[in-house]
Amino acid sequence: MSKFKYVVSEADEGRQVKDIIRNEFSFSRRLRTNLKKNQTLVLLNGVPALGWHFVKAGDTVSIDLPDETSHFEPEGIPLSVVFEDDDLIIINKQPGFVCHPTKGHPAHTMANGIQKYIIDSGQSFKIRFINRLDMDTSGLLAIAKNSHSQDNITKQMAAGKVSKKYIAVVKGLIPDDAGVISAPIGRPDPERVERGVIEGGHDSTTHYRVLRRFEKGFTLVELDLKTGRTHQIRVHLSHHGHPVIGDHLYGGENPLLIERQALHAFYLSFFHPVTGEFMEFNAPIPQDITELIDKIS
């Protein structure tokens, strides 16, 4: 059954199908081009229609999205699925995995695990990451099952309608109960993975709120990202003088406390790309971070 339908009104009488698609569906230009190429995906009263076909009041224009697949090598990586429907899948990612294959990590990624999940569950869709998490950051990871869902939520991000919140344990006692770190982030050395606060970098803003201070010299902090730069939280907190515990890249290394950076994406909210329903998700603090909190309490 088509998930996108529009019933032609009297005011639409005499318009062409392509005008209905352009004005009544919030599709990207790329998707509209794909629909134009594949003439079986656009239906007028249940029959394939061309863009120049005219409509009359009471007609139904419906759209089927094109079938797509990814071609990652499937691997048996455990997935903790928080939510899934025909358009989205939300995963509580464990630390130790990058999102998709790179030169440094050609396999054993979340994409490889999701590919096997797709096969095992009898589905077929292209893996489109809506957000990304660093290898050793845990928490909520959103994947779109079609281009419309990805485009829609990307636009929501640009409009400030997506909320991404993290918790972290950092070195030192942050004096203010809340604040904003606004500093441009860039790549000081193009040959290295590290980012830094540099002149001419991309504008980056992180809001923080102190949840708890520990007498041993640590702070539990909640972070709300207003931009989504690579390593943003880690770079901003280090620049602020309070690197994330366990972060060997940005000065928070302490292998006796935790084996990875103590950073977890615990909250995600947005509007569903098809239904418009407000959706929010939570991922509990993982065991290694709760154990860290016990050690420093």
Question: What is the full DSSP assignment across the chain?
Answer: --SEEEEPPGGGTT-BHHHHHHHHS---HHHHHHHHH-TTSEEETTEE--TT-B--TT-EEEE-PPP----PPP------EEEE-SSEEEEEEPTT--SS--SS--SSSHHHHHHHHHHHTT-----EESS---TT-EEEEEEESSHHHHHHHHHHHHTT--EEEEEEEEES---SSEEEEE--EE-SSTTSS--EE-TT-B--EEEEEEEEEETTTEEEEEEEESS--TTHHHHHHHHTT-PBTT-TTTT---TTT-SS--EEEEEEEEE-TTT--EEEEE-PPPHHHHHHHHHH-
Beta pairing, strands 138-144 & 128-129: antiparallel
Instruction: Confirm if 146 and 68 have CB atoms less than 8 A apart.
Output: yes
Fold: same for 4-63 and 81-296? no
Please, which pLDDT band fits residue 255 given cuts at 50, 70 and 90? confident
Q: Tokens in use for 138?
A: 């845990």
What is the CATH number assigned to the segment(s) 4-63? 3.10.290.10
Q: Considering only 37-46, 138-147, 235-244, 270-279, which range has the smallest mean pLDDT?
A: 37-46
Mean pLDDT of 249-264: 89
First to last CA, the chain: 55
Q: What pLDDT shows up at residue 16?
A: 86
Q: Which of 59, 87, 134, 136 is catalytic?
A: 134
Catalytic annotation present for 151: no
Tens digits of residue pLDDT in 63-122: 888 788 999 999 999 999 999 999 999 999 999 999 988 888 889 999 999 999 999 999
Tens digits of residue pLDDT in 156-178: 999 999 999 999 999 999 999 99
Instruction: Confirm if 181 and 234 have CB atoms less than 8 A apart.
Output: no
Tens digits of residue pLDDT in 192-232: 888 989 999 999 999 999 999 999 999 999 999 988 898 99
What is the CATH number assigned to the segment(s) 81-296? 3.30.2350.10
Mean pLDDT of the chain: 92
Domain map of the chain by residue range?
4-63, 81-296
Q: What pLDDT shows up at residue 83?
A: 98
Please, which pLDDT band fits residue 254 given cuts at 50, 70 and 90? confident
Please, which pLDDT band fits residue 1 given cuts at 50, 70 and 90? very low
Q: What pLDDT shows up at residue 228?
A: 84
Distance of CA 156 to the CA centre of its chain: 11
Cα 265 from Cα 18, distance rounded (Å): 41
